[in-house]
Amino acid sequence: MRPEVLTGEHFLTGDEACAEGALAAGCRFFGAYPITPATEIAEHMALHLPEVGGTFIQMEDEIAAMASVLGASCAGAKSMTATSGPGFSLMMENLGLGIYTETPCVLVNVQRAGPSTGLPTMPAQGDMMQARWGSHGHYEIIALAPSSPQEMFYQTITAFNLSEIFRLPVLIMADEVTGHLSEKVVIPEAAAIKLQTRKLPKGRKDRFKPFQPGPDGIPPMAAAGEGYGIHVTGLTHDERGYPVMSPDAHEKLVARIVGKIRNNLHRIIETESYRLDDAEIALISYGVSARSSLAAVDEAREKGIKAGLLRLITVWPFPEELIASLAKRMKALVTVEINLGQIHLEVERCSRGQCPAFLVGHAGGTVISPDRILESLEAISK
């Protein structure tokens, strides 16, 4: 048996760091179907999850993988899956089930270039809007975007914490480069890592209502088999979990579930600013594209262009107010992402016409070079 949490300095890929983050966060169930470039997460979990008493299952496909994760979570285990492109599409239906049944879990998408099977071994950030709206119905989602193996480690822990606090599936929207990039990862002692676990019910088991929210809008969660009466359905349900086919019940439930995120934006949204204080043009980026952007900011500054970067650590919920206030004081906003304009649409919307918004992007298959960003900055600043 290895220690519960690996500690110290390691030279790890982002995928390995993600798996280590999951183990450190207390993940004890991983159900997945292997797919490049997320396979290494499954491999690492298959090797090490049994060592800490957890369960790894390779399911028959991604639909079943997502279902297995929801089931394990309902039984009380912190659970996770990891996939890419086509697998992410297959998981969409059960992602919605997880949101509506308020089942905490973590879904990692190491993005490769699509549509369809696309370029399996090459990077893209083309699933960002799918992350937001890929499942049917109206909902809110939390999606994080790591830029390094070290962040893959920490964001996986953060994703578990947020999922447990808000009783929701949380997405990690990584990319092929961040997943396969090797870099130093420092893993602290277990005692230094703050973990959250779902609120548990109190009181009489026979009077328990599995979807009766506390004052924070979040219901305590009982594990199946503990003696609490539990009914879980994807149909619109009341506080007992029983189906209720009425617009009123639907309005009440959807509004509460959406409210869990909308009323807690300040607790969820995380961003990082780089040289923005005196900047005139703000780059907005995330994941590996933020690394290209950091290099471009430094090179632009050397050429006398006052550029800065807002790095989105949380992509969903979107930092709407922050973008609006940036747009007010910038000459331009430039979104850098490996797609043909997804987060760019949000930036454009949230800039509220206060300054022009540009896109530096392409369809995928490679990273965005700092040179291309620099060219764009030079053209805009002229």
Partner 1 sequence: MATKTASTQHKEVLITGFGGQGIVLAGQILGKAASLVDRKESTLTQSYGPEARGGACSAQVIISQSTIHYPYVRIPHIVLCLSQGGYDKYANSVRSDGMLIVDQDLVRISEGSDRTLYRVPATRIAEELGRKMMANIVMLGFLSAVSDVVTKDALHATVVKSVPKGTEELNSTAFHKGYDYGAAILKGIEKKAAGKKGAKS
- In whole angstroms, what is the distance from residue 153 CA to residue 134 CA? 25
Segment interacting with partner 1 (CB under 8 A) among 61-69, 187-195, 290-298, 335-343: 290-298
- In whole angstroms, what is the distance from residue 279 CA to residue 225 CA? 57
Q: Is 311 in the site for partner 1 (CB under 8 A)?
A: no
* Pairing label, strands 142-144, 314-316: antiparallel
Q: Is 121 in the site for partner 1 (CB under 8 A)?
A: yes
Q: Which of 298, 324, 349, 380 binds partner 1 (CB under 8 A)?
A: 298
| Residues 58 to 97 in contact with partner 1, rule: CB under 8 A | none
Q: Is 101 in the site for partner 1 (CB under 8 A)?
A: no
175 vs 348, which CB is nearer to partner 1? 175
164 vs 176, which CB is nearer to partner 1? 176
Segment interacting with partner 1 (CB under 8 A) among 7-15, 104-112, 257-265, 321-329: 7-15
Number of residues that bind partner 1 (CB under 8 A): 22
182 vs 271, which CB is nearer to partner 1? 182
CB of 13 to partner 1, least distance (A): 8
- In whole angstroms, what is the distance from residue 222 CA to residue 270 CA? 30
CB of 295 to partner 1, least distance (A): 4
Q: Is 198 in the site for partner 1 (CB under 8 A)?
A: no
CA nearest neighbour of 176 among 114, 259, 257: 114
Instruction: Kindly write out the interface string for residues 175-194 of this chain, putting x where it contacts partner 1 by CB under 8 A and - elsewhere.
Output: --x--xxxxx----------
CB of 370 to partner 1, least distance (A): 5
Instruction: Kindly write out the interface string for residues 23-42 of this chain, putting x where it contacts partner 1 by CB under 8 A and - elsewhere.
Output: -------------x------
Q: Is 370 in the site for partner 1 (CB under 8 A)?
A: yes
Segment interacting with partner 1 (CB under 8 A) among 115-123, 217-225, 261-269, 352-360: 115-123
- Enumerate binding residues for partner 1 (CB under 8 A): 9-11, 36, 120-122, 177, 180-184, 288, 291-292, 294-295, 298, 367, 369-370
